[in-house]
Amino acid sequence: MIAYSANHPVGDFIRANLPAPLAALANGALSVVVLMVLVVVVAILLVWLERKVCARFQARLGPTRVGPFGLLQPIADSLKLLLKENIKPRAVDTLAYFLAPLLPITGSFLVLAVMPFDHNLQVADPQAGMVYIAAVSGMGILGILIGGWGSNNKYSLLGSMRAGAQLFSYELSMVLCMLLVVMASGTGSLREIVLSQQGTVRDWWIFKLPGAGALAFVLYLISSTAELNRGPLDLSEAESELAGGFHTEYSGMGFSMFFLAEFVNMFASAGLGATFFLGGFLAPQFGIGPLDHILAFIPGFIWFFAKTGALIFMYMWFRWTFPRLRIDHLLSLEWKFLLPVSMANLLLAATLVTLGWILP
Amino acid sequence: MSESMPQGPIQPAPISAAPAVSRTGAPDAVKKSGSLPPGFTLRDVRPDGSHEYFLNMGPQHPSTHGVLKLVVRLDGETVLETVPHLGFIHRAIEKMGENETFIQYMHLTDRMDYLSSHINNLCVCLAIEKAMNIGVPERGEYIRVIVCELQRIQSHLLWWGAFGMDMGAVSAFLYGFIEREKITQLFEELCGARLTMNYFRPGGSNADLPEGFIGKVKTLCEEMKFSLDEFDVLVSQNPIIRERTVGVGLLSKERAISNGCTGPVARASGVNYDVRRNDGYSIYDRFQFDVPLGANGDSFDRYRVRMDEMRQSVRILEQAAAGIPEGQYRSKEKPNYKVPAGSYFAAVETARGLYGTYLVSDNSFKPYRVKSRSPGFSNLSAIDEITRGGKIADLVTVLSTLDLIIPDIDR
């Protein structure tokens, strides 16, 4: 095993040249700024990607006119949204109505704070990283619930009640899947979870636990799609039933904050999937000398973004292929299938770990 | 349903007093009860403080496909009652018809069910032909069958796409439109228009088929067979679609008949009636085709019947394209038709069911009175009983599988 530095050279430089309290402040401010830039860039890229992917699935071209390959289209879109009037219907609960759009984006922002992008590219690495993720990702649900209730619209109310039922249930199986990896790797810190997958591709948790890892990965994909509120599990939005659901009443920036949160959330979810199951920032190694050297030469954050991008493409693939589930089917899928299966899977993994039946 | 007659926006009924309902613990929108729609009452609050509420679906709602307004009484997500409100796109076409010549009136009928323009036109033509004993040359009849079956496929393709979109599979909508576009282009060649087409005339059609049309129809038939199989893989065999449509919106055979349902909606409930076969018009008796029937009358049967109908239409098209003779396309051209006094009725099978035209003439160039029997109106009347007890998502499924065209209902 090679030892990697957890500290970024820039952070070390600031610590070396500034007194301790100032250095902590400067480092904190710097990481917040970097994360914010990342959020914006990721959101813009994902909006473009979604439009392109969706267009290709539908035998269209997607945006082509604004910038090369339509790359500037999301910027034009966001300018339009910025200039739109922020309409506040008369009967809404003002505080709830304006607070709600901020919560989901805050939640996904906080998740990104513990995301290990590279060996030394992580804002914070708490020992209970996975517990922290489970805690802060609940903020998105809160935002949708508050927004739907505060909008004072029956479609929004129905949408947010659906979201409440759906997101709270699916959080269970999602956390159980992550718990499996935490149990197998023996740590809750995201960086150490990644480092526990060092070696070849076979050492990634998706393959390392025979059967259980792959099953957990599939369960994670399904339940995180539900958590993301994306099709086919986008019941709280359900434009053909609820005409937009929880964000029916939102316009301008209120709407775009929900929209932004959806994409950043997707990035965070895919990033977690890559971290827990696909070796995060580690380069895939196949045990073939020269090829491994070339792959390992590519920096870790590129591998992270590549794996995340692959998972994001999966989410988009689901969305533009499947029809939407009905709320009662959705809930019985979780409580009667996903939850028991992920519990059994956790037990199976515990047995495998105890008996040492892990792939060498 | 008895206490709440469908109301148009023009003539609001007196608002019946809603019982005093205390709505503790409910959001503000529900508390403001002055907006209860006419004829609607909500039952009392239950001991746990929960209560029913109503929801105005439409006229601006993505899945009412036009300006249909449904007032839905809900208990949570469960639909208790659905009352359609009509009249948002009422244009008084039948009244306008009294001031138009017969040919001019025919142009109004393609604005009713705009996805069955040609078939609606044909119905008026058939009534006039019946009244004046006009014969149609052999080629004219073949042209009619070919164009009508193309129209049926085109309409069902749009329905299929919209169904996919209502189910949340947005990509299906685009796939449906790609195939539909081919037929739309054929129609554009045929008569210049893409939506409100007008091509048929009493005694045939207003022009011969453009050059190469039959060849294109033959190619289209081959392509359609392939894409229908593709559609089956994408949507028909999808487990989510099955879960959402099988057993949803059950319409029994008896209720289908007593509601006056026709077309795929009735046939899905097992009513073995197709105007083309049972009350044959044009030359449909010369072609081999089956009338697909459903067994249960649920949404999936309605879906399946339409998919099978497209295959049968392709079958008819192939036979017609192979057998179309050369010759005259129209018996005798006339700028105007003076229909002898009397009343005449003709019925055709549109993509949605039985469309009937009833003409009363007082021996002049203009009809004395016209009346259309539109399939959508009768099919819509079943919506309340088949959505009760379902979820909001089921209401959308049912709306989609009834395949409603609102201008056809309002006229």
Domain ranges for chain A, please list them.
91-355
Whether B366 is covered by a domain: the verdict is yes
- Touching A: B residues 213-272, CB under 8 Å: 235, 238, 240-241, 243-244
| Strand, coil or helix: A234 | coil
- Touching B: A residues 73-92, CB under 8 Å: 91
B341 at interface of A, judged by CB pairs closer than 8 A = no
Chain B residues in contact with A332 by the CB 8 A cut-off are none
Cβ distance of A323 and B61 shorter than 8 Å = no
Whether B235 is covered by a domain: the verdict is yes
Same domain, B170 and B67: no
Same domain, B69 and B152: no
pLDDT in tens, B46-76: 777 777 788 888 788 877 777 888 888 888 8
Name the minimum distance, in Å, from the CA of A326 to any CA of chain B: 6
Name the minimum distance, in Å, from the CA of B160 to any CA of chain A: 13
- Touching A: B residues 117-156, CB under 8 Å: none
Higher pLDDT, A8 or B386: B386
> Per-residue b/e over B303-337, b at no fewer than 16 CB within 10 Å?
bbbbbbbbbbbbbbbbbbbeebeeeebbbeeeeeb
Whether B36 is covered by a domain: the verdict is no
Among A62-71, A278-287, B372-381, the range of highest mean pLDDT = B372-381
| Count of alpha carbons within 13 angstroms of residue A79, beta-carbon side | 6
Same domain, B170 and B48: no
Q: Among B69, B85, B101, which residue terminates a domain?
A: B85
Q: Which domain holds residue B56?
A: 42-85
Query: If residue B408 lies in a helix (H) or strand (E), which one and from where to where?
Result: helix B406-410
**How crowded is residue B227: how many other Cβ atoms within 10 Å of its Cβ?**
18
Question: What average pLDDT score do residues A257-269 get?
Answer: 87
Report the domain count for chain B: 2
Sheet containing strand B53-57, edge to edge, reads B53-57, B69-75, B78-85
Both tokens of residue B266?
């009735």
In A, minimum Cα distance to B60 occurs at: A243
Q: Cite the DSSP H helix spans in chain A.
A: 9-17, 20-57, 73-83, 94-99, 102-112, 129-136, 138-150, 154-185, 190-195, 205-208, 212-228, 239-242, 252-277, 289-297, 300-319, 327-332, 339-355
Same domain, B230 and B316: yes
Name the minimum distance, in Å, from the CA of B397 to any CA of chain A: 9
Question: What average pLDDT score do residues B235-261 get?
Answer: 88
In A, minimum Cα distance to B395 occurs at: A241
List C-alpha distances in Å: B134 to A237, B125, B202, B332, B342: 56, 10, 7, 8, 16
Chain A residues in contact with B28 by the CB 8 A cut-off are 91, 152
Q: How confident is the model at residue B358 (pLDDT cuts 50, 70, 90)?
A: very high
- Which of A52, A160, A237, A326 is the best substitution to test chain B (most B C-beta atoms within 10 A)? A326
- Touching B: A residues 302-321, CB under 8 Å: 320-321
Whether B11 is covered by a domain: the verdict is no
pLDDT at A312: 92
What integer best gives the mean pLDDT of chain A?
Answer: 84
List C-alpha distances in Å: A340 to A207, A233, A327, A335: 22, 19, 19, 7
Cβ distance of B244 and A242 shorter than 8 Å = no
Q: Among B85, B115, B140, which residue terminates a domain?
A: B85
Whether B137 is covered by a domain: the verdict is yes
Separation CA B238–CA B382 (nearest Å) = 27
**How crowded is residue A352: how many other Cβ atoms within 10 Å of its Cβ?**
19
User: B240 Cβ partners below 8 Å, 6+ apart?
Assistant: A232, A322, A323, A324, A325, A329, B167
Taking the whole predicted model, whether its pTM rises above 0.90 is answered as: no
Same domain, B98 and B69: no
List C-alpha distances in Å: A66 to A49, B46, B76, B253: 14, 57, 45, 55
Same domain, B60 and B178: no
Separation CA B146–CA A85 (nearest Å) = 52
Whether B79 is covered by a domain: the verdict is yes
- Number of A/B CB contacts below 8 angstroms equals 89
- Which of A154, A316, A321, A337 is the best substitution to test chain B (most B C-beta atoms within 10 A)? A154
- Touching B: A residues 230-259, CB under 8 Å: 231-232, 234, 238-243
* Cβ–Cβ under 8 Å, residues A151 and A255: no
* Cβ–Cβ under 8 Å, residues A148 and A245: yes
Q: How confident is the model at residue B8 (pLDDT cuts 50, 70, 90)?
A: very low
Nearest residue, CB atoms, A240 vs list B32, B171, B396: B396
pLDDT at A310: 92
Residue-wise DSSP of B82-130: EEEE--TT---HHHHHTTS-HHHHHHHHTTTSGGGHHHHHHHHHHHHHH
pLDDT at B38: 61
Nearest residue, CB atoms, A241 vs list B171, B175, B396: B396
Q: Among B85, B116, B147, which residue terminates a domain?
A: B85
| Count of alpha carbons within 13 angstroms of residue B66, beta-carbon side | 23
List C-alpha distances in Å: A19 to A12, A13, A22: 12, 12, 6
What CATH number is given to the structural domain containing B352?
Answer: 1.10.645.10
Give how far the C-alpha of residue B13 lies from the chain's centroid of Cα atoms, to the nearest Å.
Answer: 28
Among A91-100, A251-260, A268-277, the range of highest mean pLDDT = A268-277
Question: What average pLDDT score do residues B1-21 get?
Answer: 41
- Touching A: B residues 6-45, CB under 8 Å: 27-30, 32
Nearest residue, CB atoms, A324 vs list B32, B77, B167: B167
Name the minimum distance, in Å, from the CA of B30 to any CA of chain A: 8
- Touching B: A residues 331-360, CB under 8 Å: none
* Cβ–Cβ under 8 Å, residues A270 and A308: yes
Separation CA B81–CA B387 (nearest Å) = 8
* Cβ–Cβ under 8 Å, residues A345 and A184: no
A165 at interface of B, judged by CB pairs closer than 8 A = no
Same domain, B51 and B120: no
Separation CA B140–CA A210 (nearest Å) = 70
Question: What average pLDDT score do residues A156-173 get?
Answer: 86
B70 at interface of A, judged by CB pairs closer than 8 A = no
Separation CA B234–CA B266 (nearest Å) = 26
pLDDT at B277: 85
Residue A236 has pLDDT above 80, yes or no: no
- Touching B: A residues 285-304, CB under 8 Å: none
Whether B27 is covered by a domain: the verdict is no
Q: How confident is the model at residue A281 (pLDDT cuts 50, 70, 90)?
A: confident
Whether B179 is covered by a domain: the verdict is yes
